[in-house]
Amino acid sequence: MSLLVVGLSHRSAPVSVLERASLSADAKVKLLHDTLAAEPAAEAAVLATCNRIELYADVDKFHAGVAELSTLLAQHSGVALEELTPYLYVHYEDRAVHHLFSVACGLDSMVVGEGQILGQIKDALALGQELHTAGRLINDLFQQALRVGKRAHSETGIDRAGQSLVTFGLEQLAVRMPVGEWAAGKRALVIGAGSMSSLAAATLARVGVAEVVVANRTAERAERLAEILVASGTGVKASAVAMAAVADELTRVDVVVSCTGATGLVLSADDVLAAVSRAGLDVADAAGSVRLTERGSAPDPAPQTPAGLELADVVARLAAAAEAGGRIPDAGAARTMAAPVEADGCPVGPDGRSALTGVDANSLELHGTWADQGEAAAQRQPRKSARSQSDGMPVRLALLDLAMPRDIDAAVHRIPGVRLVDIESLAEASADAPMAADVDAVRAIVAEEVAAFGAAQRAAHITPTVVALRAMAAEVVAMEVARLDGRVPDLDERQRAEVTQTVRRVVDKLLHAPTVRVKQLASEPGGAGYAEALRELFDLDPQTVASVSRADAADPKNDDDPGRAS
């Protein structure tokens, strides 16, 4: 197994970079095709959500794989490689398995324990199967990740450590009120009719809003979602409107949840200001004090490659560190490299990314720990969990933006009476959320499952060789029985069958203990060499072993539907 993952997420990159690096459906397809066309990759899958973009591949060359996957991510995401590189993380072999299992359990989510990621992992696997880019390793990995995620949710209270992104967002809008009390009697507008928007609509109905209006570019999907809400038994009133009617609906609703696949803004600050003005809120001075031409915060400046350190050198050193240590420290290390900091005992030093020159993997690991501790201290400072200028005054319109790229102009937080919660503010708020003790139990499950998966993969690696060995033994038995027929032609059928069975039993007994033992040894770390030893000792035909491997990879069980977790 040579599993490699290269990616970026909300832990390693700012929202402004994640927004620009998002992948459309067509881009995912092209990325997978180009990954397989690249020489180092034999199979691949892409996990792209609002909070992460990760490319998984089975590679035969680690350094070439890191370089190729990084280049492909940059090419298809539309963000230059020089700008993307500081935010990328790399995991290899067991560390890559550990990462995906942690993601599946919700340990790496913006809101710890959220279960929506399981459906996204299933979708990533389904796309790989549909495009035939998912082979034996990717199928086994993603199906096992789904099982591990389900196990974590069923055996622990990880759901108590965090909530779905929708519920958490509504809690941020409600501030210090219970969500049910805050939502009671409100009228809500849901923009979009995809999976996240549907979840938002269902959650709003469950927490007690009086009415939900659904707007979507495809009218049929909006109408279907409204019908489902009416039939849900929650008693909510639901209807569908065209996207052109959103401006009018804004004047009549109390809450807006938006999550579309649009590449540009769905609601501008001008739209929101016009709506609250028409609704009767006194914003006479808002036009002057709110800079409505400002479309959110300025994007982070593109990181510059330090003088004297070429990008290729950076990639090479990152790859070397990952190969030596199983991973590159993400989160803290990647982000800290981009800017000078005051260090106290940091092995890398204060001069940022340029200090990578000559630094070994162990120092990088220590630097990652040091940086994470610094971040944790910073995160303990008080935060504003939502963007609003309306503290101390009634909130006329509450906005929840769950899209990436964002649907709602970040400048709306300057409008009096408007409260905005978006992906960025959710990330800040969730960093302060208390961690449940169940997280430790989930981490133990992940560690156990990673060890079991690695052992199973190593054992599976030797299976074709064992099968080829037994096939060779059966062929030897057949040849010897045929030779016996020529030398002793007078044997009747019963005698011939008895002799044949005796020879087979002898061969099976001779092979049983060695093949069982070699499978046990191969399942242990460092056991990959036993398959090669068997091939050398018994002079097995490599083509026979390869044909068994191909037949095993084509096993129809790979097409089993792992099922979507709720």
Active site residues: 50
* Partner residues linked to 327 by β-bridges: 91
Strand ranges for 192-265 from DSSP E: 211-215, 237-241, 255-258
Q: Are the C-beta atoms of 79 and 17 separated by less than 8 Å? A: yes
Give SS3 for 264: coil
Cis check: omega of the bond before 416, within 30 degrees of 0: no
Task: Sort strands 89-92 and 3-9 into parallel, antiparallel or unpaired.
Answer: antiparallel
3-state helix, strand, coil in the chain (%, to 5): 55, 10, 35
Structure tokens at 288: 């002057």
* 251 CB-near residues (< 8 Å, 6+ apart): 275, 276, 278, 279
H helix or E strand, kind and range, residue 455: helix 438-487
Q: Are the C-beta atoms of 14 and 45 separated by less than 8 Å? A: no
3-state secondary structure 370-384: HHHHHHHHHHCCCCC
Report d(CA 362, CA 326) in Å as an integer. Answer: 11
Q: Are the C-beta atoms of 237 and 380 separated by less than 8 Å? A: no
Name the H helices within 488-539.
493-522, 529-537
Give SS3 for 482: helix
Dihedral sign, Cα of residue 136, residue 142, residue 144, residue 146: negative
Length of the chain: 566
Distances (CA, A) of 37 to 41, 43, 520: 8, 10, 36
Q: Are the C-beta atoms of 209 and 187 separated by less than 8 Å? A: yes
The number of beta carbons lying within 10 Å of the beta carbon of residue 15 is 24
Position 301: which residue type? P
Structure tokens at 301: 């400046």
Report d(CA 545, CA 470) in Å as an integer. Answer: 11
Beta-sheet strand order (sheet of 418-421): 237-241, 211-215, 187-191, 255-258, 397-401, 418-421, 387-388
Q: Are the C-beta atoms of 36 and 138 separated by less than 8 Å? A: no
* Residue 14: half-sphere exposure toward Cβ, Cα within 13 Å: 14
The pair phi, psi for residue 133, each rounded to 5°, is -100, -10
Burial class (CB in 10 A: 0-12, 13-18, 19+), 42: middle
Give SS3 for 260: coil
